[in-house]
Structures are given as C-alpha cells and as structure tokens.
C-alpha cells in the first residue's frame, strides 16, 4: 500500500510556487494578490480563512482579509464583489462559504469576475471547465488531479467512481476525470489527467457497493464517516478520501478527531494507493488555491 501523502506533495508545490514568485519579485514585478472575504464569525470558516492567508504569506502571495459582520446586506456584499472585480491590484478573490441565510450564495458567486474566481465556482468557470477551455478549476478536484499526477496514477481508460455530486467537489471532479486532456490549450496544467470512464454516485444510488467494486479509482466526497468499507473495494484500487468529519474522541485533548469517509484501517489493506485524513486531500486543496492565484496573475496581469 502506498500512502498518497498530500502534505508532502503540497509542501513541494509550495516550494515551487515560492521560487516562481521570488523570480517575479526579482524582476521588479509586484507579487500576486489574493483577497479573502469572510462574513460573520463561523469558527470553521475563520480557521479556513486563517489557513489560506498563512499559506499565501508562506509562498510570497499578498493576502488581504476583508471581514464583514453577519448582518451585511446582500447588496452591500455584491458591491464589495464589484469593487474587487475592478481592483487591478487584486488578482483573485474568494468569498468564504457558507454565507448567512439572508444572502444568496449563487447571486454572490455569479457576480464574481470568472478571471478572478480562484475558487473556480462561478457558472462561467464551471462551463469553461466542462467545455475544456482554459479555466480556474475548483480547488479540491484540481488538487486531487495533481495528487494522482504526482504519484503517476494513470486515469486513461480507468473506471473512476465519484461518490458525491456537490458543486464544489463531486461534479467538477467527475468532469475532470472524464475529460479529454486538452494539453495544448494555454492555461491548462500539464497534469491534465482525464480520459476515464466515470460513474457518479449519490445518496439515491442503488447498490453502491457493487458499483464501487468495479472501480479502479474511488473518490469519496460524501461527508459520511466509514462509508467506504473494505468489501466495497477491488484489490489494487486507488482510494481518494475527501471527507472531513469530526467524531467524538474522549482520549484527545480537543474531545474529537478528524476522520474521512473511508474505513482507512481495513481499506488500506486492500487498496494499492490511499490518502490519509488528515494530510491527504486537505493540503492539496489549499495549495490549489495558491496555484489558481498565480494562474490568474499570469493570465490577466
């Protein structure tokens, strides 16, 4: 069994990014700039935002945090999005989700200029990804593609099962895996894997286990601890665990521990490749955001 060490690969990519950004600065150019908009005080969102800002700073990307109280109106937030769209010193920005109930997430996301949409969530970017056009790809699927690529796990002709159909993980993941690799287009990563036969599963899927047993690669993004068990996995398969779930753990100081969607202990005995949680997909997601920021900077200086 080979552990797909996202922490190690993300650290290698951060070093590569740091070198590229140092080279830009040595040429007298300004560094790339990412703005992060956060609304309210959701503790998980505050942690994610802090981690993103720290990761930017480590590679030399300028990070700006823009915080609003939870009672900001939708129109005021839209005005901020328009301001960031027009700010030529900002290469990319994200609006941390979830937003308070009185604000429509889709209205906010749709207002972001797709060239600055480093989360890859605008309808324009999603559509461009579907059509194989240069685009900013959603961070988690992009990170998973990069992880597979760096471990030389081929996807061509393979059966990839994606469990989960969310807009941020499942759908774009399935799209990347089924796509023809459009390597010749500018802006596409050299790691454009694809050419797989893809099955997307969700909570209404019948006999998930039987479908999974036919998979060469299983990507689980369900948010359901222990969903993928060893009897659902073909010997030699590659398993990518996107899930992040808190479960009670009285023996830990925090009182909980983080686990994925995969029964790691048993599945790791059957699989050839597997990601740990934490330390697998999570670090790759953050590093993809940094890559997208540099891509936005390079394509629209």
How many other CB atoms sit within 10 Å of the CB of residue 131? 11
Q: What SS3 string covers 202-248?
A: CCCCCCHHHHHHCCCEEEECCCCCCCECHHHCCCCCEEEECCCEEEE
Query: Which residues lie closer than 8 Å to 243 by C-beta, 6 or more apart?
Result: 220, 221, 222, 223, 224, 225, 227, 259, 260, 261, 262, 277
Candidate ranges 33-41, 63-71, 128-136, 195-203; the one touching ligand NDP (CB under 6 A): 195-203
- The span from the CA of 75 to the CA of 71, in Å, is 12
Q: Does 149 bind ligand NDP (CB under 6 A)?
A: no
| Residue 204 in contact with ligand NDP, rule: CB under 6 A | yes
Tell me if 274 contacts ligand NDP by CB under 6 A: no
Tell me, letter by letter, the H, E, C secondary structure of 47-65.
HHHHHHHHHHHHHCCEEEE
Show contacts with ligand NDP in window 174-193 (CB under 6 A). Answer: none
Total residues at interface with ligand NDP (CB under 6 A): 26
Question: Would you name the residues annotated as active-site residues?
Answer: 52, 96, 119
Task: List, edge to edge, every strand of the sheet that includes 62-68.
Answer: 62-68, 33-39, 92-95
Q: Which lies closer to ligand NDP via its Cβ, residue 32 or residue 170?
A: 170
Q: Does 165 bind ligand NDP (CB under 6 A)?
A: yes
Nearest to ligand NDP of 80, 140 (CB atom)? 140
226 near ligand NDP, judged by CB under 6 A: no
Contact with ligand NDP (CB under 6 A) among 94, 126, 221, 290: 221
Residue 188 Cβ, how far from ligand NDP at the closest point, in Å?
22
The interface mask with ligand NDP, positions 242-271, x = CB under 6 A, is: xxxx--------------------------
Q: Which residues of this protein are in contact with ligand NDP, per CB under 6 A?
A: 140, 163-166, 168-170, 201-205, 208, 221-224, 227, 242-245, 281-282, 285
């Amino acid at each position: 069994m080979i552990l797909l060490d996202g922490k190690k690969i993300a650290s290698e990519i951060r070093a590569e990014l740091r070198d590229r950004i140092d080279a830009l600065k040595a040429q007298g150019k300004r560094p790339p700039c990412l703005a992060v908009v956060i609304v309210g005080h959701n503790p998980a969102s505050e942690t994610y935002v802090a981690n993103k800002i720290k990761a930017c700073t480590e590679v030399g990307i300028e990070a700006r945090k823009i915080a609003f109280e939870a009672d900001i109106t939708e129109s005021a937030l839209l005005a901020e999005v328009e301001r960031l769209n027009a700010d030529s010193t900002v290469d990319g920005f994200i609006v941390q989700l979830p937003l308070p109930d009185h604000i429509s997430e889709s209205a906010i996301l749709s207002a972001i200029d797709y060239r600055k949409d480093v989360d890859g969530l605008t309808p324009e970017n999603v559509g461009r990804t579907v059509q194989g056009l240069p685009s900013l790809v959603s961070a988690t699927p992009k990170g998973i593609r990069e992880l597979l690529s760096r471990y030389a796990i081929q996807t061509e002709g393979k059966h990839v099962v994606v469990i989960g159909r969310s807009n941020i993980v499942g759908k774009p993941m399935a799209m990347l895996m089924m796509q023809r690799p459009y390597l010749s287009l500018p802006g596409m990563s050299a790691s454009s894997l694809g050419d797989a036969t893809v099955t997307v599963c969700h909570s209404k899927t019948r006999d998930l286990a039987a479908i999974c047993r036919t998979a060469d690669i299983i990507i689980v993004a369900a948010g359901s601890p222990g969903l993928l068990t060893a009897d659902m996995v073909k010997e030699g398969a590659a398993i990518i665990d996107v899930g992040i779930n808190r479960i009670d753990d009285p023996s830990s100081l925090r009182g909980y521990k983080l686990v994925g969607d995969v029964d790691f202990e048993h599945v790791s005995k059957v699989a050839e490749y597997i990601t740990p949680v934490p330390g697998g997909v999570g670090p790759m997601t953050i590093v993809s955001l940094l890559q997208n920021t540099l891509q936005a900077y390079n394509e629209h200086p």
